[in-house]
Chain A
Amino acid sequence: MKISTSQLFDASIAQMNRQQSNVAEMQAKLATGKSLVKPSDDAEKAALIQRLNSAMQRQDVFDLSLDRAESRLRTEESALMGVEDMLQRIRELAIQGSNDTLSNADRTIIAKEVTSLRDGLFSLANTQDESGNYIFSGTKVKTPAFSRDADGAMTYEGDQNRTSVDISEYRQVSVNRPGDEIFSSVSRTNDDGDSMNIGFFKVIDDFTNALEANSGANIAQGLDEISNLTDDMALSLADLGSRMNTVDNQRDILADTKLRYQELLSNAEDLDYATAVTKLSAQMLSLEAAQASFAKISQLNLFNYLR
């Protein structure tokens, strides 16, 4: 078969160009460390990488939500621990106060301490988180949870809404509880036999009044009710503990998920250096062979022998 001279040159040049561009492409891959230099090299893979990147970012968001939820819950925890301590103290005082051997003056002293503890409870009920949100106001976060009127009576100002945040695609954790649920009311049967709800602070105030009035029956009732409040608070703390547990668990799961996505992403995106370097040497070898053979073959010409 005849091969024309210009065809011989053209074909060799085309061949060397192809090999040169292969080498350049591999070099770019090695320089970036990515298996994909441009998305158009493999659109399918580029789409996969983007999807994995989105998923990774999603997990980072959950990480951040977990941080926020945890800090919120820690604020709630420290407030509730304080409340529990104070309630314990009030309960001790109630037990002490119901002792028949106490004098009026003794009870008045106890009443003073209870009053100051109640003020402490009031300020804990209006705890704010680091962003200045009242944590026991439901969703009315800019309104203090409890207000006190001129008579010293306290009212819950928040609403009943709970706020929950997404900590995974399928899991939410509630980051607050309405204040009137935590500072719970007790049910009291009054003299007419009707049952009615008595607010948290009213219970303590009634108890103080009973101490000051030296009314044995009311003091006993106060002790009962305060015991109820203490029990409720223990439940609240347990509920909080379970939510904090959820956050901790989710953190572990999230770390695993992130690791998995990182592996997938690395598999899709990162270059396998060993293979790439081997390929590059093979490509360079064939380019050199093409160049060397072209240099030799192009000299073969009958005219060289015509003298």
Chain B
Amino acid sequence: MVDILSIGAGATQLYRSALTTVSNNIANMNTEGYTRQVTDSEQSMPVQLGGMYFGNGSHLGNITRAFSEFNEGNLRNSSSELSTQDPLIKYADRIVDLMGSGTSSLSSALDQFFTAASNLSSDPASRPLRNLFLRDADGLAIRFRELSGQLSNIEQETQAEINSKLTTLNELGKQLVTVNEQLAKKATLNGQPPDLLDKRDGILRDMAEIAKIHVKQTASGTVEVKLDDQNGTTVVDVSRATVFSATFDADQPGQVEILANVYGVASPTSSVTGGTLGGLMNFQSQVLAPAVTGLNELAVMTATEINALQTTGVDANGERGTTLFDEGVATAGAAGFTLLQSDPDKVAAAGLLQISPNATNSGGAILDYNQIAAGTPTPGFTLNYSAADGYNIDGTAVAVDANGNFTHEGISYAFTGIPADGDSFTVGLNTSGLGDNRNMLLMARLQDKATYADGRTMGEGYLDLVRKAGNTSALAKISQDALQAVHDQAVVEKDKLSGVSLDQEAADLIRFQQAYQASAQIIQTSTKMFDSILGIR
């Protein structure tokens, strides 16, 4: 026989549980990672009486999470992708701000240097101008070193951040193993405590923010985590977490290798994509490395070009110039860009050669030389011309072409006008040309020289470095906007199911309260029925 007292008692128990769940939902509405819990009620087994079945009330089925594995997976992946962009933008912007601002950029130092060269070229004998030239050359060297130092600071910061992210990842791995061990005690997912599953999902979300992960869930709710996809390096399996560490190549900026350490053996990991870690590695390889390499390349180029001119000119003492910048820059990069000269008289403003027509020359021809390659020895000779035998140097005939050009000992010369019979020209070191600015003019014109193989000047090459970093950051910003929308959508989707809405809980509260009151009324009724029976006399 169906017992309405037990139906009533069962229902009050059920609705008390339901009210407890609702209260728990309300209490946890602001708890990070909380999944809304739902009370499942089940019909009790009906009772057969003769040919009929009587319903036997309801009882508490289970308290489950309003949860979708699909939504959670989407959220994890979208947060991996979104958090990739953040470090990329943050650090690329720092590089752009460093290299692109008017005060700290190389452009202003280069401008300053060429301005000094230009000024000196208009009065090469001036000692104050020579001093200014040296000061601005030092300014250029300092700017190169500063930029290089700042870039290496950024490199160290990102390396430290990579290490700290790996530490967090390792820590999360350990926590997940603990959770896995707890979960493994029960055979089915339904039997697992909801808060433990919330904890598990929270850890996985945190991991996904660090790197893109692939999650495989077993029947009991324990998870296996791999990097990137199902073929990736294992991060956590049921009972063991991998310890990750990073190594950086000191000689190659931007080279990062992530090592996985299982049972004390470190081995390279599969690729790390996505997440903050992926973003940091992308920054190192896509922004930092080209910027550092580009700056070093420019440093070598600048030092080489300026030294080449300085060593093919003549200083104020009438001696051939010696290198202005340390040639060690070729190996040390921008960090080794140093000024060697401190004596203003050592600035080689004058052209290397003095070509004097003999006082008795009557032809009026002028002999001049073209730019001299670095390392060419200083020549010293007399060129004679006779109408009968042509040109000779010390008796050796010299071939002068129809345009008046010839080359001797690696230097090319050009005649303007035609010499007369018996004319001669003496070529030698320009020992007295204090007012000669030929070399300094070339120095000032370096600003416009197509120094790069593709025709860019040094200044343009530098601005390209800024632009390149800026482009990466701009692209990342566009991606970030798009990925933010995707992530927001994933949050909304998950929230639709798993979030706590006060309105909904209020409605449930009323609903279950009423149901509880009604169930209590069933007990009351049953008491009254029983009393009626007892009251028969």
Contact = CB atoms under 8 A, between A and B. Distances in A.
Partners in one complex: yes
Contacts of B441: 164-166
B466 A133 contact: no
Given A47-B100, A50-B107, A139-B435, A306 B510 contact: yes
B299 interface: no
A303 B507 CA distance: 9
Given A6-B29, A39-B96, A160 B357 contact: yes
B435 A140 contact: yes
B459 interface: yes
Given A40-B93, A301-B503, A139 B100 contact: no
- Residue from B36, B119, B432, B447 whose CB has the most chain A CB atoms within 10 Å: B432
A4 B493 CA distance: 11
Interface stretch (A56-64, A107-115, A213-221, A245-253): A56-64
B307 interface: no
Interface residues of A, number: 54
Contact of A40 (B356, B366, B473, B510): B473
B491 A43 contact: no
Contacts of A27: none
B437 A163 contact: yes
A161 interface: yes
A89 interface: no
B118 A43 contact: no
Which of A65, A142, A163, A176 has the most chain B CB atoms inside 10 A of its CB?
Answer: A163
Contacts of B503: 5, 301-302
Question: For the side of the interface on B, what is the size category?
Answer: 35 or more
Interface in A176-198: 176, 197
A139 B313 CA distance: 14
B341 interface: no
A54 interface: yes
B502 A301 contact: yes
Contacts of B433: 139-140, 159, 161
B466 A61 contact: no
A1 B494 CA distance: 12
Contacts of A46: 96, 100-101, 466, 470
B29 A5 contact: yes
Contacts of A11: 488
Contact of B435 (A7, A138, A197): A138
Contacts of A51: 107, 459-460, 463
A169 B448 contact: yes
A163 B123 CA distance: 10
Interface string B436-460: 1110010011011000000000011
B507 A68 contact: no
B191 interface: no
B510 A139 contact: no
A2 interface: yes
A131 B507 contact: no
A61 B121 CA distance: 11
B289 to A, nearest CB: 18
A69 B441 CA distance: 14
B29 A43 contact: no
B432 A5 contact: no
A142 B463 contact: no
Contacts of A301: 502-503, 506
Interface string A136-173: 01111111000000000000000111011110010000
Contacts of B94: 40
B100 A143 contact: no
A38 interface: yes
A131 B125 contact: yes
Given A54-B111, A65-B118, A159-B432, A39 B501 contact: no
B30 interface: yes
A100 interface: no
Interface of B: 29-30, 36, 92-94, 96-97, 99-102, 105, 107-108, 110-111, 114-115, 118-119, 121-126, 350-351, 354, 356-357, 362, 366, 430, 432-438, 441, 444-445, 447-448, 459-460, 463-464, 466-467, 469-471, 473-474, 488, 491-492, 495-504, 506-507, 509-510
Given A58-B114, A176-B435, A306-B510, 14 more contacts: A2-B495, A4-B500, A5-B502, A40-B94, A47-B466, A51-B460, A68-B122, A131-B126, A133-B125, A139-B350, A140-B435, A142-B435, A160-B356, A303-B502
Nearest 9 Cβ contacts at the A-B interface: A43-B470, A4-B499, A141-B435, A39-B100, A40-B93, A302-B506, A139-B436, A139-B433, A139-B435
